[in-house]
Structure 1
Amino acid sequence: MRPSQEAEYREFVASNMASLRRFGYLVCGDWHRAEDAVQTVFVKLYTDWNKAQRRAIGPYSRRMVVNALHDIHRRGWFRRERTKEAVPDVAPPLPTDDSDERIVLLDALAKLPVRRRATLVLRYWEDHTVEETAQIMGCSVSTVKSQTAKALRTLRELLPDPVHEHLEGVPS
């Protein structure tokens, strides 16, 4: 990699690490798995930075995070970990505007399959259009619509009434 490309790559990593980690956390519900997925993405981007630059790097990197999380989940490595007496690090706190409803919503979101979670996060957390979400997810617009509808239906079933009322304004 040329020095100018190295600088571009470093700038991309520095400016996108936090948002990709947050995106990964919202998709999988686990800071450590999100961090592993993002690190995997950064390694893959580094090895093929020329190809990555020819793409819309923001959506492309988010799709890579979803794919990495899907691969991690499929491998099941986190189920084989051995626990230790002391936890070496602490997960970053959620933003300070947390409420009980937000925690309940995040717990319900964690029960959804990875692709449905990713669709909801892209559509309603990151405010992407259906078309942008389809591009990021690498699927059709109709798939995004059906995954969103199924995910919202499941969330409505999982959430208690006070939180459920906030989803009433969200179209199915």
Structure 2
Amino acid sequence: MTLPDAGWRSGGPMMDAVDSAEAADDDFRAFVGARWRRMLRTAYLLTGSPHDAEDLVQTALARTYSRWGRVRRADDPDAYVWRVMINLNVDRLRRRSVREWLTDRLPERLAVDRSDQVATRGALLDALGRLPARQRAVVVLRYVEDRSETEVAAMLGIGVGTVRGYSSRGLARLRDDGALQDLRST
């Protein structure tokens, strides 16, 4: 059986195209191999994230590969690839709805569990709510606001002795409050 002569055996135009494509692929592989680390470092400095940097370099190289025949004949293929990478990063930042700010500190900090304080505060507010209005006002002004008896008396328009009485009775009721006693025992 004889094959039609399409240039296969003699290295005709089809073989020249295949050889040229293979040479372009080899040239592109050599280009990437020689510049990968530098491109990755630049991408990391642009993005601030090693994962985003790898994505950026790979996307830039994919775009460059599709035009490699023209790029490799250019005066400075490096400039073309770096320009693609920078433009892709600018586009990536434009599309991002939430901006990330690079910082040397982690945003998450170890937080102490303060749920017991929330429970205590809630129980104390409930207990204060069970006091008569004047007693509650005196206790809050004296012990939360840290006002003197004279200041409280002047603010409420009552005597200093009355402030002492309200204060004494209010504190006694808080000490006897069952919810606050339960908190004290735990």
The two structures have a TM-score, normalised by structure 2, of 0.40
Q: Which has the larger radius of gyration?
A: 2
- Higher relative contact order (CA closer than 8 Å, sequence separation 6+): 1
